[in-house]
Amino acid sequence: MKKRRTILPLFLLFSSLILALCLRQGAAEEEISVKEVTSFIYVCLPHKGPFTDLPEVIQTMWGHTRQQNIFPKGPMIGVYYSTPDLVQPQELEWEIGFPITPQDLVQAPLEKKQWIFTSVISTVHQGPYETVGETYAKIKQWMENNNYVHAGPILERYLQDPRQVRPEEVQTEIWVPFIKE
């Protein structure tokens, strides 16, 4: 009889853990929606080449911003003007930067730009950067299902420093400018 009493609480404990994991996975599912965002000024280091250049470009951007005493007013961003499904990796055009104040003075090779797209399709990808393509596929399907057309560069907002959280906890907010068909 004693074995049976021990087994039942363990079974209930494991069942609760499995249920909690299932609920957590469901909660991590991306919610895609139309969002109104505010236009903002940002500093960036433009780049043409494969995404594998990203660590070097980030390091170079941080070096130049420190030299110019430019400090972030928001999370680091990536703005992507082309995608690997349309151009060769060496032809990809993108930039890495972060929001700044309009008064900040920016010198080459950095550029000062303005994000002007205020109506975007938005979602948060949770997980390693290597799996973000799955989220882009979901966004593309959602846009097709809802009669939206991509109408500008894609912006990614990096909500955490990947060196400070586990890869499965990294969150990247994605903005896709659109027009309604």
Residues 57 and 124 in one domain: yes
What six digits make up the tokens of 145?
């299902």
Q: Mind listing the pLDDT tens digit for each residue in 33-67? A: 999 999 999 999 999 999 999 999 999 999 999 99
The DSSP secondary structure of 63-105, one letter per residue, reads HHHHHTT---SS--EEEESS-TTTS-GGG-EEEEEEE--TT--
- Banded model confidence at residue 11, pLDDT cuts 50, 70, 90: very low
Q: Mind listing the pLDDT tens digit for each residue in 84-119? A: 889 999 999 999 999 999 999 999 999 999 999 999
Residues 54 and 139 in one domain: yes
Residues 21 and 37 in one domain: no
Residues 89 and 158 in one domain: yes
Which residues, including other chains, have CB under 8 Å from residue 153's CB and lie 6 or more apart? 79, 80, 81, 177
Residues 7 and 50 in one domain: no
Whether pLDDT at 120 is above 70: yes
Q: Mind listing the pLDDT tens digit for each residue in 76-93? A: 999 999 998 899 999 999
- Banded model confidence at residue 181, pLDDT cuts 50, 70, 90: confident
Whether pLDDT at 13 is above 80: no
What six digits make up the tokens of 84?
């690997």
In terms of phi and psi (left: phi > 0; alpha: psi -120 to 50; beta: otherwise), the region of 152 is: left
Gap between the Cα atoms of 61 and 66, Å rounded: 9
Domain that holds residue 1: 1-29
Share of the chain above pLDDT 90, in %: 77
- Which domain CATH number covers 171? 3.20.80.10
Q: What predicted TM-score, i.e. pTM, was given to this entire model?
A: 0.82
Share of the chain above pLDDT 70, in %: 84
pLDDT at 85: 86
Residues 10 and 62 in one domain: no
Q: What is the mean pLDDT of the chain?
A: 87
Residues 15 and 94 in one domain: no
- Banded model confidence at residue 9, pLDDT cuts 50, 70, 90: very low
Which residues, including other chains, have CB under 8 Å from residue 115's CB and lie 6 or more apart? 37, 39, 40, 42, 79, 155
Which residues, including other chains, have CB under 8 Å from residue 58's CB and lie 6 or more apart? 76, 96
